[in-house]
Chains A and B, each alone.
Chain A
Amino acid sequence: MITFSKQQLKVPEMSKPVYLVTGGMSKFGRSIPEKRTEELVIDSFIEAAEFIGKTPADLKRYIHSCYYGHFADHFGDQLLGESVIHDRLGLDPLGNIGIKTGGATGGSTLWEAFKTVASGYSDCVLAMGWERMDEVPTDEGNHYIASAADKDWETPLGHIYTGYYAVMAQKYWQVFGKEEESFRKTMAEIAVKNRGYARMNPHAQGPMKITVEDVINSPVVAHPLRALDCCLMSVGASCAILADEKTAYELTDNPLLVYVAAGSHTLRVADRRDMDIPLLPNETPDQYKDLGERFPGGDRYPGFTGFLAARMAAYYAYRMAGVVDPNKDFDLVELHDAFTISDIQSYEDVGIRPYGEGRTYVESGDCYHTNPYTGKPGELPANLSGGLIGNMHAVGATGIMQTIEVAQHIWNRWAEMHGDDKKWEAFGREKPADWTDLQVKGAKRGMAISHAGVGSHVTSTILVHPDYQLERRQS
């Protein structure tokens, strides 16, 4: 049993508030042979500048330092790729640094950018993420991804990351899913939902109009996960501009407060040791006393069923932003749906549902834009972008894309950014005849979760409209 010290559990205190000013993203695809990475990066930067009515040159004049999320040097076959991008963006001689935390790279890039502004080092920064995963065939891509597991203890076992992940899925499926057919259908519903929302997103790589049966009948990848339960492998870029209050209001009249916190856990799942569940503000010490009785095997925390890193990211971020109950305090979320089952696991780690009850977030209809059972707005819509399953997982860009998607709802500009016929045409994609405006009406606060591997790094990025701030919590 391991424990954490008071110092380690301190709620982060920043020297000044930090604002999200704007952001943008490129088209996403499995391969984009017609463009170099720098072209995609520039596409996303231009979108961010135009979003606030600036030229790229105007916006660049405000930037003081740059944070680049690019996970896999070997995918791009270019060491110091950050330096190439920095030069092509014409941002020399500003200080810049590359950030790499696997699938959480985008979120971690925002974390570094956030701390830089909060510390006073820079008044305005660029957080830019990208990934180029089309330079090798898929099986070599899988080997490269598997290199993010322990090279001596895990990678030689099949060179397939899904395998290291699926053992956790299998355990969750048995303990909390009780291997029920109804749980299998709930997982499939997430894939249907996210691919369906991706149909409304011109940037999205994997839009599909499918049914639960289609998911359940798709090829098995690793039982109980099937091909349509899994996220995409992508190419693309996304960026965000963060600034202090004065600079933010010089650039736009509508910046959003941003809070970012991070957690971690062992790279090898094998190394996890037992501990008590760190509680979120909407949980009590007593509520998990009978977890093992309700779900035999579920009392071993985090075991192979929970993500401590996600729990800790939420633990710090909720207290920084004053969030008590994510269901009530947020209007929407973008979660790291690498697999349908890990999406359900995340609901519990971030307190949308108590441990063991994640499935009810889907089964209640709360996770939808419009609750299919009541016809009313979903209580907390999730992954309206299409998520990693329907939109993209261009690793270094993912956490930034999620954050910008949430922001566009709070800015009440989702339809403008997703419905523009010119954008659909420019991306060479056909806008569906039943295109639907997924704007969450009156959205004031939201969160994006960026997650690495089997839970080695997770960040929570919270966005808050400045007129709707919550009271910071000390404990």
Chain B
Amino acid sequence: MSTEARGKVRVEGGKYRLNGKFHYAFPNDPIRNEEGELMGVTNPRDVTHIHMYGGEAPFFENLSKGKLLGTKCENPDCDAHGSVFVPFRIHCPDCLWKNTIVDMTETANKGASVHTFMITERTGAFNTLEKPIRFVNVEFEGVSTILMGYLPVGEPEMGMKVVPIFQTKSPTFTIIDLAWVPQGTLESELPEGFSFG
């Protein structure tokens, strides 16, 4: 199937401007049993969703620039005042104030470690990561949450020091643009398209 005309979207004046095809229709096929009796039909289709990042857009944009952003509650009256959130939370979960965006790249470079991990050969449909996937959950100093990511270089261990790497050369603008490698990994060992930022 040609995807040359695959739908693309721009936002202009607060409205979506669509170009190309957003769905492809295919004929269905009958499903029969050994006796040749009709049991059902296949329902093939191909659709493209239009998904907005809203207040999280700066996070995904900055991954492509080699930066890891978090957010911070700066409401002096909030119990969570001063808490830093990575994953990025647009609003504080306690007071619902709009959080302030903070650059966590340096913190992540200095003091990130693997809280837990897992390795799997199995993935769901539409996976684009190389298998086996090494999931790592990374904790940072001064951050109250533990970020999920993946480790494309090396073998994970709990407590292992890791640093972030970024898909800066051909970004997808999704969470897979952020990955982690063991501290001391050389730039030449990074997967294609990734850099230390």
> Which A residues contact B (CB, under 8 angstroms)?
2-3, 33-34, 77, 137, 139-146, 150-154, 156-164, 166-171, 174, 220-223, 268-274, 304
Q: Which residues on B sit within 8 Å (CB–CB) of A156? A: 128, 174-176
9 interchain residue pairs of minimum CB distance: A159-B124, A142-B124, A143-B124, A171-B116, A166-B118, A143-B125, A140-B125, A222-B120, A139-B125
Query: Can you name 14 A-B residue pairings with CB atoms under 8 Å?
Result: A33-B31, A34-B39, A140-B125, A141-B124, A142-B125, A151-B51, A152-B60, A154-B148, A156-B176, A157-B133, A157-B150, A159-B123, A170-B117, A170-B118
Instruction: Report the minimum CB–CB distance from B59 to chain A (whole Å).
Output: 9
Q: Which residues on B sit within 8 Å (CB–CB) of A154? A: 148, 175
Contact (Cβ within 8 A) B174 A304: no
CB nearest neighbor in B for A3: B79
Instruction: Report the minimum CB–CB distance from A417 to chain B (whole Å).
Output: 30
Within 8 A of A (CB), among B20-36: 31, 33
Contacts A152-B53, A166-B118; A158 near B129 (Cβ below 8 A): yes
Instruction: Report the minimum CB–CB distance from B165 to chain A (whole Å).
Output: 15
Q: Which residues on B sit within 8 Å (CB–CB) of A153? A: 87, 148, 175
Contact (Cβ within 8 A) B175 A158: no
Q: Which residues on B sit within 8 Å (CB–CB) of A270? A: 87, 137, 145-148
Contact (Cβ within 8 A) A222 B118: yes
Is B135 located at the chain interface by the 8 A CB criterion? yes
Contact (Cβ within 8 A) A273 B145: yes
Map CB proximity to A onto B47-85 as digits: 1 under 8 Å, 0 otherwise. Answer: 000010100100010000000000000000001100101
Q: Which residues on B sit within 8 Å (CB–CB) of A151? A: 51
Q: Which residues on A sit within 8 Å (CB–CB) of B80? A: 2
Within 8 A of A (CB), among B162-180: 174-176
Contacts A140-B124, A158-B123; A152 near B146 (Cβ below 8 A): no
Q: Which residues on A sit within 8 Å (CB–CB) of B31? A: 33
Q: Which residues on A sit within 8 Å (CB–CB) of B119? A: 222-223
Contacts A167-B135, A174-B158; A160 near B43 (Cβ below 8 A): no
Q: How many Å lie between the Cα of A268 and that of B124 in the bound state? A: 18
Contact (Cβ within 8 A) B129 A271: no
Q: Which residues on A sit within 8 Å (CB–CB) of B116? A: 167-168, 170-171, 174, 304
Contacts A77-B43, A167-B137, A304-B146; A145 near B115 (Cβ below 8 A): no
Contact (Cβ within 8 A) A166 B115: no
- Residue in B56, B89, B126 whose CB lies within 8 Å of A143: B126
Contact (Cβ within 8 A) A142 B123: yes
Q: Which residues on A sit within 8 Å (CB–CB) of B120? A: 158, 160, 162-163, 166, 221-222
Contacts A158-B127, A171-B116, A174-B158; A2 near B174 (Cβ below 8 A): no
Contact (Cβ within 8 A) A272 B176: no
Instruction: Report the minimum CB–CB distance from A435 to chain B (whole Å).
Output: 31
Contacts A269-B137, A269-B148; A163 near B118 (Cβ below 8 A): yes
Is B149 located at the chain interface by the 8 A CB criterion? yes
Q: How many Å lie between the Cα of A304 and that of B174 in the bound state? A: 25
Is B122 located at the chain interface by the 8 A CB criterion? yes
Q: Which residues on A sit within 8 Å (CB–CB) of B175? A: 152-154, 156-157
Q: How many Å lie between the Cα of A156 and that of B176 in the bound state? A: 7
Map CB proximity to A onto B91-134 as digits: 1 under 8 Å, 0 otherwise. Answer: 00110000000000000000000011111111111111100010
- Residue in A3, A139, A140, A167 whose CB lies within 8 Å of B118: A167
CB nearest neighbor in A for B56: A152
Instruction: Report the minimum CB–CB distance from B100 to chain A (whole Å).
Output: 18
Q: How many Å lie between the Cα of A142 and that of B120 in the bound state? A: 13
Is B144 located at the chain interface by the 8 A CB criterion? yes
Instruction: Report the minimum CB–CB distance from B81 to chain A (whole Å).
Output: 13
Q: How many Å lie between the Cα of A144 and that of B124 in the bound state? A: 8
Q: How many Å lie between the Cα of A272 and that of B121 in the bound state? A: 27
Q: Which residues on A sit within 8 Å (CB–CB) of B149? A: 157
CB nearest neighbor in B for A137: B125
Q: How many Å lie between the Cα of A158 and that of B116 in the bound state? A: 17
Is B40 located at the chain interface by the 8 A CB criterion? yes
Contacts A269-B148, A272-B146, A273-B145; A159 near B87 (Cβ below 8 A): no
Q: Which residues on A sit within 8 Å (CB–CB) of B124? A: 139-146, 158-161
- Residue in A159, A221, A268 whose CB lies within 8 Å of B125: A159
Contact (Cβ within 8 A) A163 B39: no
- Residue in B43, B122, B128, B137 whose CB lies within 8 Å of A142: B122
Q: Which residues on A sit within 8 Å (CB–CB) of B89? A: 271
Q: How many Å lie between the Cα of A8 and that of B142 in the bound state? A: 28
CB nearest neighbor in A for B116: A171
CB nearest neighbor in A for B88: A153
Instruction: Report the minimum CB–CB distance from B155 to chain A (whole Å).
Output: 12
Q: Which residues on B sit within 8 Å (CB–CB) of A167? A: 116-118, 135, 137, 148
CB nearest neighbor in A for B31: A33
Contact (Cβ within 8 A) B39 A268: no
Known: A157-B176, A162-B122, A273-B145. 7 other contacts (CB 8 A): A2-B79, A2-B94, A142-B123, A152-B175, A270-B146, A271-B145, A304-B116
Q: Which residues on A sit within 8 Å (CB–CB) of B176? A: 156-157
Q: Which residues on A sit within 8 Å (CB–CB) of B158? A: 171, 174
Instruction: Report the minimum CB–CB distance from B92 to chain A (whole Å).
Output: 12
Q: Which residues on A sit within 8 Å (CB–CB) of B60? A: 152
Q: Which residues on B sit within 8 Å (CB–CB) of A304? A: 115-116, 137, 146
